Structure 1
Protein backbone atom coordinates (compact mmCIF):
# COMPACT_ATOMS: atom_id res chain seq x y z
CA UNK A 1 0.00 0.00 0.00
CA UNK A 2 1.30 3.47 -0.95
CA UNK A 3 0.39 6.48 1.21
CA UNK A 4 0.69 10.17 0.35
CA UNK A 5 1.26 12.66 3.20
CA UNK A 6 0.27 16.25 2.39
CA UNK A 7 1.62 18.48 5.16
CA UNK A 8 3.55 21.77 5.01
CA UNK A 9 5.07 21.43 8.49
CA UNK A 10 8.13 19.16 8.45
CA UNK A 11 7.81 18.21 12.13
CA UNK A 12 4.23 17.04 11.65
CA UNK A 13 5.13 15.23 8.42
CA UNK A 14 7.97 13.35 10.17
CA UNK A 15 5.65 12.49 13.05
CA UNK A 16 3.14 11.01 10.61
CA UNK A 17 5.80 9.08 8.71
CA UNK A 18 7.14 7.58 11.94
CA UNK A 19 3.64 6.61 13.12
CA UNK A 20 2.88 4.94 9.79
CA UNK A 21 6.17 3.08 9.51
CA UNK A 22 6.04 1.90 13.15
CA UNK A 23 2.44 0.66 13.20
CA UNK A 24 1.18 -0.03 9.66
CA UNK A 25 3.21 -2.86 8.08
CA UNK A 26 0.75 -2.85 5.17
CA UNK A 27 2.24 0.46 3.98
CA UNK A 28 5.14 -0.17 1.59
CA UNK A 29 5.86 3.42 0.57
CA UNK A 30 5.12 6.98 1.71
CA UNK A 31 5.59 10.22 -0.20
CA UNK A 32 5.57 13.68 1.37
CA UNK A 33 4.04 16.66 -0.48
CA UNK A 34 4.67 20.04 1.14
CA UNK A 35 1.74 22.01 -0.29
CA UNK A 36 -1.80 21.46 -1.48
CA UNK A 37 -1.11 21.90 -5.19
CA UNK A 38 1.60 19.24 -5.26
CA UNK A 39 -0.48 16.98 -3.02
CA UNK A 40 -3.41 17.29 -5.40
CA UNK A 41 -1.22 16.47 -8.41
CA UNK A 42 0.37 13.44 -6.72
CA UNK A 43 -2.99 12.21 -5.45
CA UNK A 44 -4.45 12.35 -8.95
CA UNK A 45 -1.61 10.67 -10.82
CA UNK A 46 0.69 8.95 -8.33
CA UNK A 47 -1.28 5.76 -7.76
CA UNK A 48 -1.69 6.24 -4.01
CA UNK A 49 -4.41 4.19 -2.33
CA UNK A 50 -4.54 6.50 0.68
CA UNK A 51 -3.78 10.10 1.67
CA UNK A 52 -3.22 11.91 4.96
CA UNK A 53 -4.24 15.51 4.25
CA UNK A 54 -3.67 18.65 6.29
CA UNK A 55 -6.46 21.17 5.82
CA UNK A 56 -4.56 24.47 5.98
CA UNK A 57 -1.99 24.33 3.22
CA UNK A 58 -0.16 26.78 0.96
CA UNK A 59 -1.19 27.08 -2.71
CA UNK A 60 -4.34 24.95 -2.30
CA UNK A 61 -6.33 24.06 0.81
CA UNK A 62 -6.94 20.48 1.81
CA UNK A 63 -10.65 20.40 1.00
CA UNK A 64 -10.08 21.63 -2.55
CA UNK A 65 -7.19 19.21 -3.09
CA UNK A 66 -9.28 16.31 -1.78
CA UNK A 67 -12.23 17.30 -3.96
CA UNK A 68 -10.09 17.08 -7.11
CA UNK A 69 -8.50 13.79 -6.05
CA UNK A 70 -11.91 12.25 -5.34
CA UNK A 71 -13.34 13.48 -8.63
CA UNK A 72 -10.71 11.51 -10.52
CA UNK A 73 -9.99 8.71 -8.01
CA UNK A 74 -13.14 8.26 -5.87
CA UNK A 75 -11.78 5.14 -4.19
CA UNK A 76 -8.92 7.03 -2.52
CA UNK A 77 -9.04 6.81 1.27
CA UNK A 78 -8.34 10.20 2.85
CA UNK A 79 -7.64 10.97 6.50
CA UNK A 80 -7.84 14.71 7.18
CA UNK A 81 -5.99 16.13 10.14
CA UNK A 82 -6.07 19.63 11.50
CA UNK A 83 -5.28 21.84 14.45
CA UNK A 84 -8.91 22.91 14.55
CA UNK A 85 -12.12 21.11 15.48
CA UNK A 86 -14.26 23.22 13.18
CA UNK A 87 -17.80 22.26 12.25
CA UNK A 88 -17.14 24.08 8.97
CA UNK A 89 -14.42 21.62 8.00
CA UNK A 90 -16.58 18.57 8.67
CA UNK A 91 -19.49 20.04 6.71
CA UNK A 92 -17.14 20.93 3.88
CA UNK A 93 -15.76 17.39 3.76
CA UNK A 94 -19.22 15.82 3.90
CA UNK A 95 -20.23 17.78 0.79
CA UNK A 96 -17.37 16.45 -1.35
CA UNK A 97 -16.82 12.87 -0.20
CA UNK A 98 -18.01 10.30 -2.80
CA UNK A 99 -20.57 7.70 -1.83
CA UNK A 100 -19.04 4.75 0.01
CA UNK A 101 -15.59 6.35 0.21
CA UNK A 102 -13.55 5.98 3.37
CA UNK A 103 -12.49 9.16 5.14
CA UNK A 104 -11.64 10.42 8.60
CA UNK A 105 -10.92 13.54 10.59
CA UNK A 106 -8.43 13.61 13.47
CA UNK A 107 -7.18 16.54 15.53
CA UNK A 108 -3.39 17.08 15.60
CA UNK A 109 -3.41 17.33 19.39
CA UNK A 110 -4.85 13.82 19.69
CA UNK A 111 -2.69 11.18 21.34
CA UNK A 112 -0.43 8.98 19.22
CA UNK A 113 -2.68 6.05 20.07
CA UNK A 114 -5.68 7.93 18.72
CA UNK A 115 -3.78 8.89 15.57
CA UNK A 116 -2.70 5.30 14.96
CA UNK A 117 -6.28 4.10 15.45
CA UNK A 118 -7.48 6.63 12.86
CA UNK A 119 -4.69 5.74 10.42
CA UNK A 120 -5.50 2.04 10.57
CA UNK A 121 -9.29 2.52 10.51
CA UNK A 122 -9.32 4.82 7.48
CA UNK A 123 -6.23 3.98 5.43
CA UNK A 124 -6.12 0.20 5.91
CA UNK A 125 -9.62 -0.91 6.89
CA UNK A 126 -11.58 1.60 4.82
CA UNK A 127 -13.76 2.86 7.67
CA UNK A 128 -15.20 6.31 8.37
CA UNK A 129 -13.79 7.82 11.57
CA UNK A 130 -14.31 11.33 12.94
CA UNK A 131 -12.43 12.46 16.06
CA UNK A 132 -14.67 12.64 19.11
CA UNK A 133 -13.13 16.02 19.98
CA UNK A 134 -14.95 17.49 17.01
CA UNK A 135 -18.26 16.11 18.16
CA UNK A 136 -17.73 17.28 21.75
CA UNK A 137 -16.84 20.80 20.60
CA UNK A 138 -19.88 20.90 18.34
CA UNK A 139 -22.12 19.87 21.22
CA UNK A 140 -20.70 22.63 23.45
CA UNK A 141 -20.99 25.45 20.92
CA UNK A 142 -24.17 24.39 19.11
CA UNK A 143 -26.82 22.68 21.25
CA UNK A 144 -29.02 20.32 19.17
CA UNK A 145 -32.01 22.69 19.21
CA UNK A 146 -29.84 25.47 17.73
CA UNK A 147 -27.83 23.45 15.20
CA UNK A 148 -28.29 24.58 11.61
CA UNK A 149 -29.81 22.01 9.28
CA UNK A 150 -28.38 21.48 5.79
CA UNK A 151 -30.84 23.85 4.13
CA UNK A 152 -30.11 26.66 6.59
CA UNK A 153 -26.38 26.08 6.25
CA UNK A 154 -26.59 26.31 2.45
CA UNK A 155 -28.38 29.66 2.72
CA UNK A 156 -25.78 30.87 5.25
CA UNK A 157 -22.94 29.98 2.87
CA UNK A 158 -24.61 31.83 0.00
CA UNK A 159 -25.21 34.81 2.28
CA UNK A 160 -21.51 34.81 3.16
CA UNK A 161 -20.64 34.76 -0.55
CA UNK A 162 -22.72 37.90 -1.06
CA UNK A 163 -25.72 36.48 -2.94
CA UNK A 164 -29.05 38.32 -2.71
CA UNK A 165 -32.16 36.39 -1.72
CA UNK A 166 -33.44 35.94 -5.30
CA UNK A 167 -30.18 34.41 -6.47
CA UNK A 168 -30.01 32.15 -3.43
CA UNK A 169 -33.51 30.94 -4.28
CA UNK A 170 -32.52 30.20 -7.88
CA UNK A 171 -29.29 28.46 -6.93
CA UNK A 172 -30.81 26.32 -4.19
CA UNK A 173 -34.05 25.62 -6.09
CA UNK A 174 -36.14 27.24 -3.35
CA UNK A 175 -38.95 29.76 -3.44
CA UNK A 176 -38.10 33.28 -2.33
CA UNK A 177 -40.37 32.80 0.69
CA UNK A 178 -38.50 29.63 1.66
CA UNK A 179 -35.16 31.44 1.51
CA UNK A 180 -36.51 34.23 3.69
CA UNK A 181 -37.84 31.70 6.18
CA UNK A 182 -34.45 29.97 6.29
CA UNK A 183 -32.80 33.33 6.96
CA UNK A 184 -35.18 34.07 9.83
CA UNK A 185 -34.49 30.64 11.30
CA UNK A 186 -30.70 30.93 11.12
CA UNK A 187 -30.84 34.49 12.55
CA UNK A 188 -32.70 33.07 15.51
CA UNK A 189 -30.36 30.09 15.94
CA UNK A 190 -27.26 32.28 15.67
CA UNK A 191 -28.61 34.78 18.18
CA UNK A 192 -29.04 37.75 15.84
CA UNK A 193 -32.84 37.92 15.92
CA UNK A 194 -35.25 40.68 16.89
CA UNK A 195 -33.76 40.87 20.38
CA UNK A 196 -30.78 42.84 19.01
CA UNK A 197 -30.74 46.12 20.97
CA UNK A 198 -31.33 49.46 19.25
CA UNK A 199 -29.91 50.72 17.04
CA UNK A 200 -30.73 47.61 15.04
CA UNK A 201 -27.71 45.94 13.45
CA UNK A 202 -27.54 44.40 9.98
CA UNK A 203 -28.68 40.84 10.56
CA UNK A 204 -26.89 39.41 7.53
CA UNK A 205 -23.58 40.80 8.74
CA UNK A 206 -24.37 39.74 12.29
CA UNK A 207 -25.10 36.17 11.17
CA UNK A 208 -21.82 36.01 9.25
CA UNK A 209 -19.91 37.43 12.22
CA UNK A 210 -21.43 34.86 14.57
CA UNK A 211 -20.84 31.98 12.16
CA UNK A 212 -17.16 32.86 11.78
CA UNK A 213 -16.60 33.35 15.51
CA UNK A 214 -18.19 30.00 16.38
CA UNK A 215 -16.38 28.20 13.50
CA UNK A 216 -19.57 27.22 11.70
CA UNK A 217 -17.82 28.85 8.74
CA UNK A 218 -14.13 29.39 8.09
CA UNK A 219 -11.94 30.79 5.34
CA UNK A 220 -11.02 27.44 3.81
CA UNK A 221 -14.63 26.30 3.43
CA UNK A 222 -15.64 29.68 2.03
CA UNK A 223 -12.83 29.43 -0.53
CA UNK A 224 -14.16 26.02 -1.57
CA UNK A 225 -17.71 27.37 -1.67
CA UNK A 226 -16.57 30.22 -3.91
CA UNK A 227 -15.22 27.67 -6.41
CA UNK A 228 -18.64 25.98 -6.46
CA UNK A 229 -20.38 29.32 -6.91
CA UNK A 230 -18.09 30.38 -9.76
CA UNK A 231 -18.79 27.08 -11.52
CA UNK A 232 -22.55 27.51 -11.06
CA UNK A 233 -22.48 31.11 -12.30
CA UNK A 234 -20.53 30.04 -15.37
CA UNK A 235 -23.03 27.28 -16.15
CA UNK A 236 -25.90 29.70 -15.60
CA UNK A 237 -24.37 32.26 -17.95
CA UNK A 238 -23.99 29.64 -20.69
CA UNK A 239 -27.44 28.18 -20.13
CA UNK A 240 -26.20 24.69 -19.17
Structure 2
Protein backbone atom coordinates (compact mmCIF):
# COMPACT_ATOMS: atom_id res chain seq x y z
CA UNK A 1 0.00 0.00 0.00
CA UNK A 2 1.41 3.40 -1.04
CA UNK A 3 1.02 5.80 1.89
CA UNK A 4 0.44 9.37 0.72
CA UNK A 5 0.62 12.65 2.64
CA UNK A 6 -1.44 15.35 0.91
CA UNK A 7 -0.32 18.94 1.55
CA UNK A 8 -2.39 21.92 0.40
CA UNK A 9 -3.82 24.89 2.25
CA UNK A 10 -7.20 24.55 0.48
CA UNK A 11 -9.52 21.88 1.90
CA UNK A 12 -11.39 21.49 -1.39
CA UNK A 13 -8.13 20.75 -3.23
CA UNK A 14 -7.10 18.18 -0.62
CA UNK A 15 -10.55 16.61 -0.98
CA UNK A 16 -10.09 16.25 -4.73
CA UNK A 17 -6.67 14.65 -4.39
CA UNK A 18 -8.00 12.41 -1.59
CA UNK A 19 -10.68 11.06 -3.92
CA UNK A 20 -8.17 10.34 -6.69
CA UNK A 21 -6.02 8.35 -4.28
CA UNK A 22 -8.95 6.56 -2.58
CA UNK A 23 -10.11 5.19 -5.93
CA UNK A 24 -6.84 3.26 -6.32
CA UNK A 25 -6.62 -0.16 -4.59
CA UNK A 26 -2.89 0.13 -3.91
CA UNK A 27 -2.93 3.62 -2.35
CA UNK A 28 -4.22 5.34 0.76
CA UNK A 29 -4.15 8.86 2.17
CA UNK A 30 -2.21 8.35 5.39
CA UNK A 31 -2.45 12.01 6.49
CA UNK A 32 -3.22 15.54 5.32
CA UNK A 33 -1.63 18.90 6.14
CA UNK A 34 -2.52 22.51 5.35
CA UNK A 35 0.73 24.24 6.35
CA UNK A 36 4.44 23.75 5.91
CA UNK A 37 5.10 23.41 9.63
CA UNK A 38 2.37 20.77 9.99
CA UNK A 39 3.89 18.88 7.06
CA UNK A 40 7.34 18.86 8.63
CA UNK A 41 5.91 17.63 11.95
CA UNK A 42 4.12 14.76 10.22
CA UNK A 43 7.22 13.79 8.24
CA UNK A 44 9.20 13.69 11.49
CA UNK A 45 6.57 11.47 13.15
CA UNK A 46 5.55 9.10 10.34
CA UNK A 47 6.89 7.38 7.26
CA UNK A 48 5.19 8.19 3.96
CA UNK A 49 5.89 6.74 0.56
CA UNK A 50 5.00 10.01 -1.17
CA UNK A 51 4.47 13.57 0.05
CA UNK A 52 2.27 15.53 -2.38
CA UNK A 53 3.38 19.10 -1.70
CA UNK A 54 1.91 22.43 -2.79
CA UNK A 55 4.19 25.47 -3.29
CA UNK A 56 1.97 28.38 -2.19
CA UNK A 57 1.15 28.03 1.50
CA UNK A 58 0.52 30.73 4.11
CA UNK A 59 3.20 30.01 6.73
CA UNK A 60 6.10 28.24 5.06
CA UNK A 61 6.13 27.93 1.28
CA UNK A 62 6.81 24.71 -0.58
CA UNK A 63 10.39 25.67 -1.39
CA UNK A 64 11.23 26.05 2.31
CA UNK A 65 9.19 23.01 3.31
CA UNK A 66 10.89 20.80 0.73
CA UNK A 67 14.31 21.85 1.97
CA UNK A 68 13.46 20.95 5.58
CA UNK A 69 11.83 17.66 4.58
CA UNK A 70 15.01 16.60 2.79
CA UNK A 71 17.03 17.49 5.90
CA UNK A 72 14.69 15.53 8.20
CA UNK A 73 14.33 12.52 5.85
CA UNK A 74 16.85 12.69 3.00
CA UNK A 75 15.22 9.73 1.25
CA UNK A 76 11.68 11.08 1.39
CA UNK A 77 9.91 11.07 -1.99
CA UNK A 78 8.24 14.44 -2.65
CA UNK A 79 5.90 15.13 -5.56
CA UNK A 80 5.21 18.81 -6.17
CA UNK A 81 1.69 19.68 -7.35
CA UNK A 82 1.29 23.38 -7.94
CA UNK A 83 -0.73 25.99 -9.75
CA UNK A 84 2.52 27.58 -10.89
CA UNK A 85 3.69 26.60 -14.39
CA UNK A 86 6.09 23.67 -14.60
CA UNK A 87 8.35 25.70 -16.83
CA UNK A 88 8.99 28.19 -14.01
CA UNK A 89 9.57 26.13 -10.86
CA UNK A 90 10.19 22.52 -11.85
CA UNK A 91 13.91 22.53 -12.59
CA UNK A 92 14.82 24.41 -9.40
CA UNK A 93 12.69 22.14 -7.21
CA UNK A 94 13.98 18.96 -8.84
CA UNK A 95 17.46 20.23 -8.15
CA UNK A 96 16.41 20.86 -4.52
CA UNK A 97 15.36 17.24 -4.10
CA UNK A 98 11.80 16.90 -5.40
CA UNK A 99 11.06 13.62 -7.16
CA UNK A 100 8.55 15.13 -9.58
CA UNK A 101 6.55 18.22 -10.48
CA UNK A 102 3.02 18.46 -11.87
CA UNK A 103 0.72 21.37 -12.57
CA UNK A 104 -2.67 21.12 -10.85
CA UNK A 105 -4.33 21.39 -14.25
CA UNK A 106 -3.07 17.93 -15.20
CA UNK A 107 -5.37 14.93 -15.57
CA UNK A 108 -6.08 12.65 -12.55
CA UNK A 109 -4.42 9.79 -14.43
CA UNK A 110 -1.19 11.81 -14.55
CA UNK A 111 -1.28 12.31 -10.78
CA UNK A 112 -1.80 8.60 -10.10
CA UNK A 113 0.95 7.67 -12.57
CA UNK A 114 3.29 10.17 -10.91
CA UNK A 115 2.55 8.88 -7.39
CA UNK A 116 3.33 5.30 -8.43
CA UNK A 117 6.58 6.34 -10.15
CA UNK A 118 7.75 8.47 -7.24
CA UNK A 119 6.82 5.78 -4.69
CA UNK A 120 9.13 3.39 -6.56
CA UNK A 121 11.97 5.86 -6.20
CA UNK A 122 11.84 7.17 -9.77
CA UNK A 123 11.66 10.75 -11.01
CA UNK A 124 8.43 11.80 -12.70
CA UNK A 125 8.84 14.43 -15.39
CA UNK A 126 6.07 15.80 -17.57
CA UNK A 127 6.68 16.50 -21.24
CA UNK A 128 7.05 20.21 -20.41
CA UNK A 129 9.86 19.54 -17.93
CA UNK A 130 11.56 17.00 -20.20
CA UNK A 131 11.57 19.56 -23.01
CA UNK A 132 13.02 22.21 -20.71
CA UNK A 133 15.78 19.86 -19.57
CA UNK A 134 16.51 18.87 -23.16
CA UNK A 135 16.79 22.53 -24.16
CA UNK A 136 19.24 23.02 -21.33
CA UNK A 137 21.42 20.19 -22.65
CA UNK A 138 21.22 21.34 -26.26
CA UNK A 139 21.65 25.02 -25.44
CA UNK A 140 23.29 25.55 -22.03
CA UNK A 141 22.70 29.31 -22.20
CA UNK A 142 19.02 28.99 -23.12
CA UNK A 143 17.65 28.47 -19.59
CA UNK A 144 16.02 31.20 -17.56
CA UNK A 145 18.31 33.09 -15.13
CA UNK A 146 16.60 31.72 -11.99
CA UNK A 147 17.26 28.16 -13.17
CA UNK A 148 20.99 28.78 -12.71
CA UNK A 149 20.59 29.34 -8.96
CA UNK A 150 21.53 26.76 -6.36
CA UNK A 151 18.85 25.44 -4.02
CA UNK A 152 19.66 27.90 -1.24
CA UNK A 153 20.06 30.80 -3.68
CA UNK A 154 16.65 30.05 -5.19
CA UNK A 155 15.10 29.85 -1.71
CA UNK A 156 16.47 33.27 -0.78
CA UNK A 157 15.61 34.70 -4.20
CA UNK A 158 11.94 33.77 -3.64
CA UNK A 159 11.91 35.48 -0.25
CA UNK A 160 13.59 38.65 -1.49
CA UNK A 161 11.26 38.80 -4.49
CA UNK A 162 8.29 38.50 -2.12
CA UNK A 163 9.51 41.56 -0.22
CA UNK A 164 11.17 40.01 2.82
CA UNK A 165 14.16 41.86 4.26
CA UNK A 166 17.51 40.13 4.98
CA UNK A 167 17.03 40.34 8.76
CA UNK A 168 13.73 38.46 8.64
CA UNK A 169 15.12 35.92 6.18
CA UNK A 170 18.11 35.31 8.43
CA UNK A 171 15.86 34.70 11.45
CA UNK A 172 13.57 32.37 9.50
CA UNK A 173 16.39 30.28 8.00
CA UNK A 174 18.65 30.41 11.07
CA UNK A 175 21.43 32.14 9.14
CA UNK A 176 23.43 35.27 9.84
CA UNK A 177 22.40 38.49 8.12
CA UNK A 178 25.85 38.57 6.53
CA UNK A 179 25.30 35.12 5.01
CA UNK A 180 21.91 36.17 3.61
CA UNK A 181 23.51 39.31 2.15
CA UNK A 182 26.19 37.16 0.51
CA UNK A 183 23.52 34.95 -1.07
CA UNK A 184 21.65 38.04 -2.20
CA UNK A 185 24.76 39.35 -3.93
CA UNK A 186 25.26 35.99 -5.68
CA UNK A 187 21.65 35.93 -6.83
CA UNK A 188 21.84 39.44 -8.27
CA UNK A 189 25.13 38.65 -10.00
CA UNK A 190 23.94 35.35 -11.52
CA UNK A 191 20.66 36.86 -12.69
CA UNK A 192 22.33 40.10 -13.83
CA UNK A 193 19.93 42.24 -11.84
CA UNK A 194 20.64 45.37 -9.83
CA UNK A 195 18.40 45.35 -6.76
CA UNK A 196 15.46 43.75 -4.92
CA UNK A 197 12.93 45.65 -7.02
CA UNK A 198 14.38 43.98 -10.11
CA UNK A 199 14.03 40.59 -8.40
CA UNK A 200 10.36 41.25 -7.64
CA UNK A 201 9.66 42.45 -11.17
CA UNK A 202 11.40 39.38 -12.60
CA UNK A 203 9.45 37.01 -10.32
CA UNK A 204 6.09 38.56 -11.22
CA UNK A 205 6.90 38.66 -14.94
CA UNK A 206 7.91 35.01 -14.92
CA UNK A 207 4.97 33.79 -12.83
CA UNK A 208 7.06 32.86 -9.78
CA UNK A 209 4.97 34.90 -7.37
CA UNK A 210 1.40 36.19 -7.56
TM range (shorter): 0.5 to 0.7
DSSP-derived class of the 1:52 partner: strand
Alignment of 1:1-16 (within 5 A): 1-16=2-17
User: Residue in 1 aligned with 2:105?
Assistant: 109
User: Residue in 1 aligned with 2:116?
Assistant: 120
Does the aligned pair in 1 maintain the 2:21–2:28 contact within 8 Å?
A: no
Deviates further, 65-74 or 208-217 = 208-217
Alpha-carbon separation, structure 1, partners of 2:129 and 2:91: 12
Return the TM-score normalized by structure 1. Answer: 0.60
The answer to whether 1:62 aligns with 2:62 is: yes
Return the TM-score normalized by structure 2. Answer: 0.67
Alpha-carbon separation, structure 2, partners of 1:151 and 1:10: 33
Q: What do the CA deviations read for 1:91-138 (whole angstroms, capped 9, x no partner)?
A: 5424532xxxx6111100111122222122112x22111333456689
How far apart are 1:54 and its partner, in Å?
Answer: 1.0
C-alpha RMSD over aligned residues: 3.9
Unmatched segments (≥5 aa) in structure 1: 193-202, 220-240
Alpha-carbon separation, structure 1, partners of 2:133 and 2:207: 9
User: Residue in 1 aligned with 2:171?
Assistant: none
How far apart are 1:82 and its partner, in Å?
Answer: 0.4
Alpha-carbon separation, structure 1, partners of 2:197 and 2:62: 28
User: Residue in 1 aligned with 2:206?
Assistant: 215
Alpha-carbon separation, structure 1, partners of 2:43 and 2:150: 33
Alpha-carbon separation, structure 1, partners of 2:55 and 2:72: 19
Q: Cα–Cα, structure 1 residues 87 and 171, in superposed 2: closer, same or farther, change >3 Å?
A: farther
- Aligned residue pairs total 185
Q: Cα–Cα, structure 1 residues 117 and 218, in superposed 2: closer, same or farther, change >3 Å?
A: same
Q: Cα–Cα, structure 1 residues 211 and 40, in superposed 2: closer, same or farther, change >3 Å?
A: same
Does the aligned pair in 2 maintain the 1:8–1:34 contact within 8 Å?
A: yes
Alpha-carbon separation, structure 1, partners of 2:12 and 2:125: 23
